[in-house]
Amino acid sequence: MQTHLRGRDCITLQEFTKGELDTILDVAFELKRQRALGIRHPLLEDKVLAMLFFFSSTRTRASFEAGMAQLGGHAQFIESRTTQISHGDTAKEIGEILGRYNDGIAIRQIDWKSGNTYQREVAEASRVPVLNMQCDIYHPHQALADLMTIIEQFGDPRGRTANISWAYAASYQKPISAPQSLALLLPRFGMNVRLTHPPEFKLMPEILDQARENAARAHVGFEIVEDFDEGMKGADVVYAKSWGALLTTTDEEEGKRIIDKYPDWITDERRIGMANDDAIYMHPLPADRGVEVADAVIDGAHSVVYDQAENRLHGQKAVMALTMS
């Protein structure tokens, strides 16, 4: 159990040691038990979290706001377009000022090649922790919830294989931050990672290098395949979602043309049948039903997407309790 996380930013879980991550998980599962038993835990009584959104959100806003209330504090919703942030407030000013008003600052800024930079600039100016609600590179609290869900389903995840796969989606070029954070985190807990995507949907080379290092250090596998069916075979975790071809093109129209080359990359009953019998299907939501995934899969026996969504609440409460107390 690590007891020195007070005041720490949480921009990527890669900046936490394995022992610190174990502590976060321990606290998250304990808070989840207490919630189930109706045991109050006002660990952040009178504390205030500023939640700064540059992009719309459902689960992220609801889970952080509910989590702060359950911890006895208050969450302050700040939308960039309806405040002076859209008219000149700099990252330094946000860090300095919100850091003086509040006990933590949570930010969702996913603009490609600027979201993470913005969060780092706010964190440098802030006297209180900055929590990443998603940026262009990382989605740490989603990855934490994903790991919690895998542990709940399998117990010790060591030796299990996760297929982190691209999937077709008819909508916009989605961020690459969710698969990147997951690829970084799972090897540290003894899981083999299989990254499956068409050639145009590569992830950041520096992130892949770190993921390979994590896998080598944990003596587990890390592989990249470009065949959707091949990625499914023998998987314990099927984590198939769309992301943009952002390292190939940032042009939306060209990105859409590339996406439309692969409409058969859908997790349907035949594909989930290629995975292990006890495999779980995961998706951070919202999913493009009938496009990314068949209803029979996301609503079927393999799906744990609602457990995943719930665990966003408990994992985030653990991070907030440990860093903002």
Query: What average pLDDT values come out for the chain (325 residues) when binned by 10 residues?
Result: 95 98 98 98 98 94 98 96 87 97 98 97 98 98 98 98 96 91 98 98 98 98 98 98 96 93 97 98 96 98 98 98 97
Q: Which CATH class is domain 142-308?
A: alpha beta
* Residue 315, amino acid: G
Q: What is the pLDDT of residue 15?
A: 98
Q: What is the pLDDT of residue 82?
A: 85
Instruction: Delimit the CATH 3.40.50.1370 region(s) of the chain.
Output: 13-139+312-324, 142-308
pTM confidence score: 0.97
| Homologous superfamily (CATH) for 13-139+312-324 | Aspartate/ornithine carbamoyltransferase (3.40.50.1370)
Q: What is the pLDDT of residue 87?
A: 82
Q: What is the rounded CA–CA span in Å between residue 234 and residue 277?
A: 9
Q: What is the rounded CA–CA span in Å between residue 310 and residue 59?
A: 9
Look at strands 237-241 and 161-166 and give their pairing. parallel
Sheet with 104-109: strands ordered across:
74-79, 48-53, 104-109, 130-135
Q: How far is CA 26 from the centre of its chain?
A: 18
